[in-house]
Structure 1
């Protein structure tokens, strides 16, 4: 009898321990995630003033200004609480440092918070771009530039997200003007203005990023070997060129049939699946996978790494494959 009682007590104890662990796990899983403190952005340490700006001793612009500053860079000390929640059209109280009157307040438009920094670069404007007198959306003029390449001598760095891509450019008839919030542009263009030889059939790109948007081989357009006039080049080695008939377009020298191709007529036994490439030197995009089979190769090319490529006829058109390269 005592033995049965002991066994029963042991079973009850074990069950209680299991139940306690289970409840503990449930409580732990139901517990809220640890609180992660959000660090608010800081007011820029230096702000560029674009116009005469009143200064106040307190955050009340109903009183007469204590003084006014001409356009210049000023050092900030503080800002009103939650200034970063302001929106377009609202103003922010910002305390700045002066050498002659101590710390004073200014009531600045939210979209004028930032600093002008000098740069020296060429920018290709890919869309029509409105001109602004300042890097602020409220200063837009009626003047619109057609797509072209311009020289920029300054950038406006601002914590206001919609003011990104704001650059001061040089114009021949208006002087310096601003391009504001223009997402369709290419920075750091290299001006070339020289002849360029396209020795083999090359992918014709209406836009600089046409190659990355190809969905199928039939979407591609090609130009025959020819000499073109290279106007400029992007950081990624894509050239903006003009043909002899005056047509302008984009090319990437690697997106072309390779030089030194050897004509062959060879049955090629593919022992495994291979990717289909438009050109051996164009890694993206690829155009499907060809399963293991025997195909007819009509051209062969050895790349700089001494690896063999074969040009074959496929359901997707003429494609390049590399039989020894795994997927």
Structure 2
């Protein structure tokens, strides 16, 4: 409700009514916030099963000062409930441990006092992980289990994943000299890599990428480095279709068949009239990257490619390099 200067001339009774109505609106807003701005907090669910990584004492109550009834060896245990606010990360002065009630086969329901970071479940996995950056190894899926070993960029096999309610993950990998070790919240990894180890023919000029996602980060055509048609040795493939390959000279890099000059393009020498602003593409087989647009004008095209969807693309010489356009699209 908007109250302007004219409100000064209303009668006292009406003025009081306005104030009461305005106050009621404010009270209602405070009690029942708009659903567009208010979201009820939903705490994470306690995992139905928790994996114990070390010998863990059992207590009949939430009191660590008394002697435990027994000790569990490392194993998976079924949970029942947890102390209030168990899911809140440790703060300053917090011991960092949480009480979790579990089921046992011989003592019934008992309590364990578990480090917050140990509340989670290990599930088997069978996947390959590419380490794009060097990664430290951990003896357990915990920050305080850091070893002095750091793996260089490589692809490793993962046989289990540790899931926690707060959303963090750790990956158990196989090493030839230390056995199973863990990657804890590793930076810059690629999951579910497919091992290929086979020859791969690149039928046309293909974009060479130093990183798997270089095409997505390209700012100008001058950053594009196309290599000629050749046969490379494909080592691995990501779930999105990028390949890590080795060329004949031994160099390794990334390619994506979508970022290549199209097969079947033919040489032409035509003038194309653009009737409206036209986007400029690096290649016609990928929606990105796009390097601006051309205003309505006439341009010279030296290549033409008819796409399977019926669209006719043209390659032109521009001040920004040799690029592709789709007129009147």
TM-score, shorter chain, exceeding 0.5: yes
Residue from 291, 298, 308 that aligns with 2:312: 308
Residue from 144, 154, 169 that aligns with 1:148: 154
1:196 partner SS: strand
Residue from 32, 44, 49 that aligns with 2:47: 44
Residue from 140, 156, 166 that aligns with 1:160: 166
**Per-residue CA distance 1:62-103 (angstroms, 9 max, x = gap):** 211110001111011111111122328711111111111111
1:103 partner SS: strand
Distance 1:21 1:275 in 2: 57
**Aligned pair 1:85/2:91, yes or no?**
no
**Aligned pair 1:70/2:73, yes or no?**
yes
Larger Cα-atom Rg: 1
Distance 1:228 1:33 in 2: 66
Contact 1:168 1:178 (8 Å CA) reproduced: yes
Q: How many angstroms does 1:245 deviate by?
A: 1.1
Distance 2:15 2:84 in 1: 52
Residue from 219, 223, 230 that aligns with 2:223: 219
Distance 1:22 1:264 in 2: 78
Residue from 255, 267, 289 that aligns with 1:251: 255
Distance 1:305 1:47 in 2: 52
Q: How many angstroms does 1:183 deviate by?
A: 3.0
Distance 1:18 1:293 in 2: 66
Q: How many angstroms does 1:42 deviate by?
A: 2.6
Q: How many angstroms does 1:59 deviate by?
A: 1.3
Contact 1:86 1:92 (8 Å CA) reproduced: no
Contact 1:279 1:319 (8 Å CA) reproduced: yes
The corresponding residue for 1:197 is 201
Distance 1:287 1:22 in 2: 58
Q: How many angstroms does 1:207 deviate by?
A: 0.4
Ranges in structure 1 where 5+ consecutive residues have no aligned partner = 1-11
Q: How many angstroms does 1:139 deviate by?
A: 0.8
CA RMSD for the aligned pairs? Answer: 2.2
Distance 1:231 1:128 in 2: 19
Distance 1:33 1:214 in 2: 50
Contact 2:135 2:151 (8 Å CA) reproduced: yes
Q: How many angstroms does 1:282 deviate by?
A: 1.8
> What are the within-5 Å matches in structure 2 for residues 73-152 of structure 1?
73-87=76-90, 90-152=96-158
Distance 1:316 1:29 in 2: 58
Structure-1-length-normalised TM-score: 0.89
1:61 partner SS: coil
- Residue 257 and residue 26 in structure 1: after superposition, are their counterparts in 2 closer, same or farther (change >3 A)? farther
- Residue 19 and residue 230 in structure 1: after superposition, are their counterparts in 2 closer, same or farther (change >3 A)? farther
Q: How many angstroms does 1:224 deviate by?
A: 1.5
The corresponding residue for 2:5 is none
Q: How many angstroms does 1:167 deviate by?
A: 0.8
1:63 partner SS: coil
Residue from 269, 288, 292 that aligns with 1:288: 292
Distance 2:106 2:151 in 1: 43
2:87 partner SS: helix
Aligned residues: 312
Q: How many angstroms does 1:322 deviate by?
A: 0.4
Distance 2:131 2:305 in 1: 38
Contact 1:254 1:281 (8 Å CA) reproduced: yes
**Per-residue CA distance 1:8-31 (angstroms, 9 max, x = gap):** xxxx89x98899579746753673
Q: How many angstroms does 1:41 deviate by?
A: 2.0
Q: How many angstroms does 1:294 deviate by?
A: 0.5
- Residue 321 and residue 63 in structure 1: after superposition, are their counterparts in 2 closer, same or farther (change >3 A)? same
Distance 2:80 2:137 in 1: 32
> What are the within-5 Å matches in structure 2 for residues 177-188 of structure 1?
177-188=181-192
